Amino acid sequence: MDNKPLITIAFDGFSSSGKSTMAKSLAKRIGYAYIDTGAMYRAVTLYCIEHNLFDGQKLDTEELKRQMPDIRITFQVEKDGKSVTCLNGRNVEKEIRMMPVSSKVSIVAAVPFVRHALVRQQQEMGKNKGIVMDGRDIGTVVFPDAEMKVYVNASPETRARRRYDELKAKGDTTTTYEDVYKNVCERDYIDSHREETPLRKADDAIELDNSDMTIEEQDKWLMGLYERTISNLKRQ
Ligand code: DC
């Protein structure tokens, strides 16, 4: 790496806004670590499902609180260089992206003690900078002092179409586009109306609506913003 200062880069936005793709691609180009914080909330949700902590859509928060110290979430880099999410040492990357987890994750992500535990872990992961983190509260709560903050948006239809195509590519043959669209709208509502740190744009975040942008256009836009952020820092 050259002598550019290391910074913290925060990506926030609604589900399936394409922020993970953008964040991952930027991290790779500039040699930064990438952390998908949504995957952490998803892994806790999978744990709750597997340990029967859900009765329908009702979560036994008391029991989850008791079991929280037993939940260990880590990221492991595979031979092909891809990072996968592990729940107590088991690769759960595929399961956490499926509908049973997607349909319950907003409930788990609204629980204050879950958020506090995961935020602490995220702050620890990013304490040395040189990190790109994506989520809902990165620029507002996890790293309010991040030097570069991006708030990504796209229409619910565009986002549902992306998630639907992803599910099909992963072999899901039962979920319909309408199911995905409904799930996207429900999660938007819960994520932006929950009491505990709802999704909102940080005042100093740069907003990007990528509904009509290609991946290449997004990458170019991001690199431009990164370069400008670095040169502003060097000037200070
Ligand atoms: O980005 P995603 O769709 O994988 O996120 C899954 C869920 O976790 C989503 O409902 C919002 C929640 N989440 C959150 O509340 N805070 C974060 N930092 C990341 C995700």
Domains and CATH numbers, the chain: 8-235 (3.40.50.300)
pLDDT at 14: 87
Query: For 207-222, how does the pLDDT look when each residue is reduced to its tens digit (9 = 90+)?
Result: 999 888 988 999 999 9
The protein residue with its alpha carbon nearest to ligand 1, atom 13, reads: 38
Rounded average pLDDT over 62-90: 93
Query: For 134-146, how does the pLDDT look when each residue is reduced to its tens digit (9 = 90+)?
Result: 999 999 999 999 9
| Beta strand pairing call for 131-135 and 33-36 | parallel
Rounded average pLDDT over 22-29: 94
Q: Which long-range contacts (CB under 8 A, 24 or more apart) does 166-170 make?
A: 166/16, 166/97, 167/97, 167/98, 167/99, 170/94, 170/97, 170/98
Here the tokens at position 46 are: 């999978």
Looking at the CA of residue 142, tell me the nearest atom of ligand 1. 18
Query: For 125-136, how does the pLDDT look when each residue is reduced to its tens digit (9 = 90+)?
Result: 999 999 999 999
Q: Where are the beta strands (DSSP E) in the chain?
A: 8-13, 33-36, 54-55, 58-59, 73-77, 83-87, 90-91, 131-135, 148-153, 206-209
Does the pLDDT value for residue 2 go beyond 80?
Answer: no
- pTM > 0.85: yes or no: yes
| Beta strand pairing call for 73-77 and 83-87 | antiparallel
Contact present, 12 and 152 (Cβ < 8 Å): yes
pLDDT over 90, % of the chain: 76
Query: For 102-115, how does the pLDDT look when each residue is reduced to its tens digit (9 = 90+)?
Result: 999 999 999 999 99
72 CA → ligand 1 middle, Å: 18
DSSP count for the chain of H helices, then E strands: 9, 10
- Starting at the edge strand that comes first in sequence, how are the strands of the sheet with 8-13 ordered? 33-36, 131-135, 8-13, 148-153, 206-209
Looking at the CA of residue 122, tell me the nearest atom of ligand 1. 18
Does the pLDDT value for residue 49 go beyond 70?
Answer: yes
Around ligand 1, the residues with Cβ closer than 6 Å are 15, 37-38, 41-42, 105-106, 109, 135-137, 187, 191
Q: Give the span between the Cα atoms of 30 and 37, in whole angstroms.
A: 20
Rounded average pLDDT over 177-206: 90
Does the pLDDT value for residue 205 go beyond 90?
Answer: yes
236 CA → ligand 1 middle, Å: 34
Rounded average pLDDT over 77-105: 92
Here the tokens at position 71 are: 């939940």
Looking at the CA of residue 137, tell me the nearest atom of ligand 1. 18
Q: Which long-range contacts (CB under 8 A, 24 or more apart) does 97-100 make?
A: 97/42, 97/166, 97/167, 97/170, 98/167, 98/170, 98/172, 99/167, 99/172, 99/175, 99/179, 99/183, 100/49
Does the pLDDT value for residue 78 go beyond 90?
Answer: no
235 CA → ligand 1 middle, Å: 35
Helices 215-235 and 19-30: crossing angle, nearest 10°? Answer: 50
142 CA → ligand 1 middle, Å: 13
- 90 phi and psi angles, rounded to 5 deg: -100, 135
Which residue did the predictor score with more confidence, 148 or 163?
148
Tell me the average pLDDT of the chain. 93
Query: For 168-179, how does the pLDDT look when each residue is reduced to its tens digit (9 = 90+)?
Result: 998 989 999 999
Q: Which long-range contacts (CB under 8 A, 24 or more apart) does 55-61 make?
A: 57/104, 57/107, 59/104, 59/107, 59/108, 59/111, 61/111
The protein residue with its alpha carbon nearest to ligand 1, atom 8, reads: 38
The protein residue with its alpha carbon nearest to ligand 1, atom 6, reads: 38
Does the pLDDT value for residue 1 go beyond 60?
Answer: no
The protein residue with its alpha carbon nearest to ligand 1, atom 16, reads: 136
